Amino acid sequence: MKKVVIGLSGGVDSSVAAYLLQQQGCEVIGLFMKNWHDESVTISNECPWLEDSNDAMLVAEKLNIPFQVVDLSAAYKDRIVDYMFNEYKMGRTPNPDVLCNREIKFDVFMKIALSLGADYVATGHYCRKGIIDVKGTETYQLLAGKDTNKDQSYFLCQLSQEQLSKTLFPIGELTKPEVRKIATELDLITANKKDSQGLCFIGKVKLPDFLQQKLQPKEGNIITIAKDSEIFNRVIPEFKNKEEELQFFATKYTYNESDGKIVGKHQGAHYFTKGQRKGLAVGGTKEPLFVIETDVNTNTIYTGEGKTHKGLYRKVLFITNEELHFIRTDLALKSNESLKVKARIRYRQPLENAEIFKIDNGLYVAFENEQSAITEGQFAAWYLEDELIGSGVIS
């Protein structure tokens, strides 16, 4: 009998995942991860983790499985919160959900589960796991969830073969409505619970409020750059080779305050991210303003009018070797190799045609079509068909 520890989050997906494992004859243990209780960072009077852990406990009682709360807040602070503050300080935009899976759920949490004698760890993610034979080696695949609307493979883009070998995704073959239907039939308290928003595990908190706890507000200028600015008419040189061409197109536009006009003030460049539209509080423009670049050194935000503004678009991005990761290690490229893939640069984005090119110090992802708001610190992930084979942090 397989012993499986499931991360019960107090949501409907993990609740149904636990039930399905039971139906398959597994011995199931439910653990709730408590990852944040730093009272100095006031988040809100409502304490979501208490409510969530209570719901998780009620689900465990209903299914008659053992349940306990594990406190991972020290590891969470070290590996996620501090990393996030650091990234924002450098003007990058990290993805806490991807990190949380790599560092907490499938590392710290998995080690606890295995120490309890578990054969596997299960989660309520909408994705699937495949097992294939590659030259006599059992190889694990991370496949998109059947529910294309809810596919969460992107959030797991940093997992390793080792982590996948010990993981189960019980609801990967189901759609969200099917999951809700099962929960309703079982009369689980989580059946109609809304999907959680806000930071992974920090609870109901808006990111700028959270960041203001550690990054002091500091007034700076909001500059708008005209659509037809000279900056966007750069001359395309003759390229000696493919690498030179990729490097040229991966280089972003650079702006100075003198390139545009001041249209307002902001409270800190590190609170803003590329492509952002809300929170600028600048009126009187024909089309809404979008952030096209932030400069944390001069504490300046550069904006452009309308979502078709040239400053938002690029075709090529670069990932350094240190931040490059192949789930399918057998498909990892060597220098000067390339591969046609489908790729995305954010969770909800439809997959786009692209080609990846490996060079000595990293990897380029070159898209067929220009991409809006390629953002440093976020993860690019690439797929063959519905299999996520690799990812990396956009540099």
Neighbours of 166 (CB within 10 A): 16
Structural domain contains residue 88: yes
pLDDT, the chain, mean: 92
The pLDDT tens digits for 116-148 are 999 999 999 999 999 999 999 999 999 999 999
Residue 199 lies in a domain: yes
Our count of domains for the chain comes to: 1
Q: Taking residues 263-269, report their average pLDDT.
A: 94
User: Is 143 part of any domain?
Assistant: yes
Residue 142 inside a domain? The answer is: yes
Whether residue 204 has pLDDT greater than 60:
no
CB under 8 Å to 243, separation ≥6 — which residues? 357, 359
List active site positions: 100, 200
Q: How far apart are CA 171 and CA 182, in angstroms?
A: 11
Summarize pLDDT for 18-55 with one digit per residue, the tens. 999 999 999 999 999 988 765 555 455 556 678 889 99
Six-digit token pair at 311? 């400053």
In a domain, 283, yes or no: no
How do residues 44-54 score in pLDDT, each as one tens digit? 555 667 888 99
**Identity of residue 80:** I
- 352-389 burial: b if 16+ Cβ within 10 Å, else e: bebbbbbbeebbbbbbeeebbbbbbbbbbbbbeebbbb
Q: Contact, 336 vs 359, CB < 8 A?
A: yes
Q: Of all helices (H) and strands (E), which one includes residue 30?
A: strand 27-34
pLDDT (tens digit, 9 = 90+) per residue, 288-326?
999 999 999 999 999 999 999 999 999 999 999 999 999
Output the pLDDT for position 77: 87
Show the domain range for 41: 3-212
Report if residue 250 sits inside a domain. Answer: no
The CA distances from residue 239 to 247, 248, 367, in Å, are 10, 9, 18
3-state SS, residue 235: coil
Q: What is the average pLDDT across 159-170? A: 98
- Establish if 269 belongs to a structural domain: no
**206 pLDDT above the threshold of 70:** no
Query: Average pLDDT, stretch 191-196?
Result: 85
Q: Domain containing 194 — which CATH number? A: 3.40.50.620
Distance CA 65, CA 122 (A): 14
Question: Among 15-19, 121-125, 213-217, 263-267, which stretch is predicted with the lowest mean pLDDT?
Answer: 213-217
pLDDT of residue 205: 59
Please list the residues that pair with 318 across neighbouring strands: 364
Q: Tell me the angle at which helices 48-63 and 12-23 cross, rounded to the nearest 10 degrees.
A: 20
Show Cβ contacts of residue 235 under 8 Å, excluding neighbours closer than 6 positions: none
